[in-house]
């Protein structure tokens, strides 16, 4: 029985925000061509919409230097265009445009160094959380939100602070972050994100059956997850990035006031401005940092 005071719909109505990696540097050399991947994604989005007519799906594309909303099932339904095929055609056109625009931005910035460019996941996560906050505040009853990250490219250590902040705000607003890695490397950021927010982290073995993974694991709503045997994370990489050079480090210096992390000793904290009067001895006696 739905009680009127709860602002949620019943258990199995979900709002899924899917963050899709559109990093051309990754997809150029990926085992699974982007077109196939996009096909799986559309299947997955359709199946979510099939499960419950109140389900809502938002797709956010994360490029190298920008991110944008590419699909919103709420808009598609509201605009009165019932032709779903047309809606998806529009979505794929939007992705195409986005990728082009993103490439132009990237070229303009000139920030990319070599092939190891990361996608802007921090921005995409923030967009997703903003969208969810807007739904929370809309006042009417809303579905249960969750975020699914489909990441291929490696983590960008320079986004560490922003990503961690997004993760903590997701945790605060009880939004689980699921992650599905379509690339070759595990992502430390997403491992932590799923671990902290209670989502599922999965790195599929066989990418050609991506839809099956998505349907089996990520399509299940939060309510039925309690009953299911879902993949468990074996280990989580808890390493942090330093604030000064954005490198992933095992050990480092931590500001005693604001807990900022540095890989080298500084006289003054660059984040909060506290001055460290005593000179730290050498690295060996330094507190272990997690």
Give one DSSP letter per residue of 161-172, joined into a string: HHHHHHHHHHHH
Query: Which one of residues 38, 43, 254, 271 is an interface residue with another protein (CB under 8 A)?
Result: 43
Minimum Å gap between C-beta 72 and another protein is 14
Stretch that binds another protein, among 17-25, 191-199, 211-219, 252-260 (CB under 8 A): 211-219
Q: Sort 80 into a burial class: Cβ within 10 Å, 0-12 / 13-18 / 19+.
A: exposed
Q: Taking the alpha carbons of 83, 89, 95, 97 in that order, is the dihedral positive or negative? A: negative
Alpha-carbon distances of 49 from 121, 156, 220, 258, rounded to whole Å: 25, 32, 12, 44
Report the alpha-carbon distance of residue 68 to residue 154 in Å, rounded. 20
Minimum Å gap between C-beta 38 and another protein is 13
Stretch that binds another protein, among 3-11, 19-27, 260-268, 279-287 (CB under 8 A): 3-11
Report the alpha-carbon distance of residue 242 to residue 233 in Å, rounded. 25
Q: Which is nearer to another protein, 49 or 177 (CB)?
A: 49
Q: Is 53 in the site for another protein (CB under 8 A)?
A: yes
Q: Is 78 in the site for another protein (CB under 8 A)?
A: no
Q: Is 271 in the site for another protein (CB under 8 A)?
A: no
Q: How many degrees, rounded to 5, is the angle at CA 144 between CA 139 and CA 150?
A: 125
Report the alpha-carbon distance of residue 216 to residue 66 in Å, rounded. 31
Q: Is 102 in the site for another protein (CB under 8 A)?
A: no
Q: Is 2 in the site for another protein (CB under 8 A)?
A: yes
Minimum Å gap between C-beta 56 and another protein is 13
Helical (H) or strand (E) element with 227 = none
Query: Which one of residues 24, 36, 38, 51 is an interface residue with another protein (CB under 8 A)?
Result: 51
Binding residues (CB under 8 A) for another protein: these are 1-5, 9-13, 43, 46-47, 49-54, 80, 82-85, 87-88, 140-141, 211-212, 215-216, 219-221, 223-224, 226-229
């Amino acid at each position: 029985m739905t009680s009127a005071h709860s602002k949620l719909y019943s258990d199995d109505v979900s709002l899924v925000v899917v963050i899709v990696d559109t990093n051309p540097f990754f997809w150029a050399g990926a085992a699974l061509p982007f077109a196939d991947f996009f096909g799986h994604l559309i299947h997955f989005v359709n199946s979510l919409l099939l499960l419950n007519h109140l389900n809502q799906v938002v797709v956010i594309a994360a490029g190298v230097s920008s991110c944008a909303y590419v699909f919103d099932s709420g808009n598609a339904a509201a605009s009165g265009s019932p032709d779903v095929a047309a809606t998806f055609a529009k979505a794929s056109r939007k992705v195409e445009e986005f990728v082009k625009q993103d490439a132009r931005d990237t070229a303009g910035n000139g920030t990319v160094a070599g092939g190891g460019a990361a996608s802007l996941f921090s921005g995409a996560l923030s967009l997703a959380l903003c969208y969810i906050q807007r739904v929370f505040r809309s006042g009417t009853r809303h579905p249960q939100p969750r975020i699914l990250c489909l990441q291929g490219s490696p983590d960008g250590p320079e986004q560490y602070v922003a990503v961690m902040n997004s993760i903590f705000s997701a945790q605060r607003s009880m939004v689980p972050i699921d992650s599905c890695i379509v690339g070759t490397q595990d992502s430390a950021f997403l491992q932590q994100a799923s671990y902290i927010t209670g989502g599922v982290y999965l790195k599929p073995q066989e990418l050609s059956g991506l839809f099956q993974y998505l349907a089996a694991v990520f399509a299940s709503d939060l309510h039925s997850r309690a009953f299911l045997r879902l993949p468990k994370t074996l280990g989580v990489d808890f390493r942090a990035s330093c604030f000064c050079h954005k490198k992933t480090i095992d050990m480092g210096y931590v500001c005693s006031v604001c807990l900022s992390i540095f890989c080298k000793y500084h006289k003054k904290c660059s984040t909060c401005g506290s001055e460290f009067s005593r000179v730290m001895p050498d690295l060996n006696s330094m507190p272990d940092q997690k």
